[in-house]
């Protein structure tokens, strides 16, 4: 199993840039969102979400990397790897107010922006622009979830790895190969062979 580089650092992303990357916002709307956000920091290994528990808040990664995983018998199956600018959320909790399926673990010390569910719902009721922003945010997250599912079901493992590296070229310096192999749905031996072939 590889050891991610302890000296690798990725530039932090400002919350304003994260929010406007979802869909453009007026300065007024952006300011109202930013005013509801609180910065939080957690250590590597911190469990941000736990399966079978409810947490409706949203977390956006300013700096760091995290993974979502589900349990299959005694095995951890990684279903998402998220880096700077991405959203961490339990959609089942957020949408249905029910316990979520996934655990979300921080793989590096992380700087996050927390947006409380109740604060966001209050803004939805006040500002149609922010309600539309929230709809677009959830739509994009659902599309990403679908893309991960389609990729895992229908793309060859080598293509899945190439796509992942195109999006995150330094991921193997930050995340254990075992987690990446699990995310791709292959053994670590297969992942090592794929990596050797593309070098």
Which pLDDT band, with edges at 50, 70 and 90, does 163 fall under?
Answer: very high
Q: Is residue 1 part of a domain?
A: no
Q: Is residue 197 part of a domain?
A: no
**Residue 5: is its pLDDT beyond 60?**
no
Q: Is residue 184 part of a domain?
A: no
Which pLDDT band, with edges at 50, 70 and 90, does 155 fall under?
Answer: very high
Q: Is residue 163 part of a domain?
A: no
Contact between residue 14 and residue 88 where contact means Cβ atoms under 8 Å apart? no
**Terminal Cα-to-Cα distance of the chain (whole angstroms):** 18
Q: Is residue 40 part of a domain?
A: yes
Q: Is residue 103 part of a domain?
A: yes
Query: What is the per-residue pLDDT across 47-106, written as a single tens digit (0 to 9) for each?
Result: 999 999 999 999 999 999 999 999 999 999 999 999 999 999 999 999 999 999 999 999
Q: What is the pLDDT of residue 10?
A: 75
Q: Is residue 175 part of a domain?
A: no
**Residue 1: is its pLDDT beyond 60?**
no
Q: Is residue 39 part of a domain?
A: yes
Expressed as residue numbers, the domain containing 66 is: 15-154
DSSP annotation of 101? S
Structurally, the chain folds into a number of domains equal to 1
Q: What is the mean pLDDT of residues 138-142?
A: 97
Q: For the range 1-8, what are the long-range contacts, defined as Cβ-Cβ under 8 Å and sequence gap of 24 or more?
A: 1/176, 1/177, 1/178, 1/188, 2/172, 2/176, 2/177, 3/176, 4/107, 4/172, 4/173, 4/174, 4/175, 4/176, 5/173, 5/174, 8/170, 8/173, 8/174
Buried/exposed 23-39: b ≥16 CB within 10 Å, e otherwise: eebeeebbebbeebbee
Q: What is the CATH number of the domain that holds 100?
A: 2.60.120.10
């Amino acid at each position: 199993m590889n050891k991610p580089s302890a000296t690798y650092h990725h530039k932090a992303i400002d919350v304003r840039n994260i929010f406007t990357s979802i869909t453009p916002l007026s300065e007024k709307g952006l300011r109202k969102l930013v005013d509801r956000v609180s910065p939080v920091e957690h250590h590597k290994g911190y469990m941000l979400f736990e399966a079978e528990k409810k947490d409706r808040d949203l977390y956006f990664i300013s700096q760091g990397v995290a993974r979502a995983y589900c349990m299959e018998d005694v095995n951890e199956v990684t279903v998402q790897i998220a880096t700077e600018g991405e959203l961490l959320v339990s959609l089942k909790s957020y949408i249905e107010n029910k316990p979520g399926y996934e655990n979300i673990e921080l793989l590096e010390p992380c700087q996050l922006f927390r947006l409380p569910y109740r604060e966001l719902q209050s803004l939805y009721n006040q500002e149609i622009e922010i309600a539309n922003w929230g709809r677009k945010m959830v739509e994009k997250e659902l599309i990403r979830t679908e893309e991960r599912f389609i990729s895992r079901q229908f793309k060859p493992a080598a293509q899945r790895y190439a796509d992942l590296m195109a999006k995150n070229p330094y991921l193997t310096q930050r995340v254990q190969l075992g987690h990446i192999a699990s995310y791709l749905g292959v053994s670590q031996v297969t992942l090592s062979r794929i990596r050797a072939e593309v070098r």
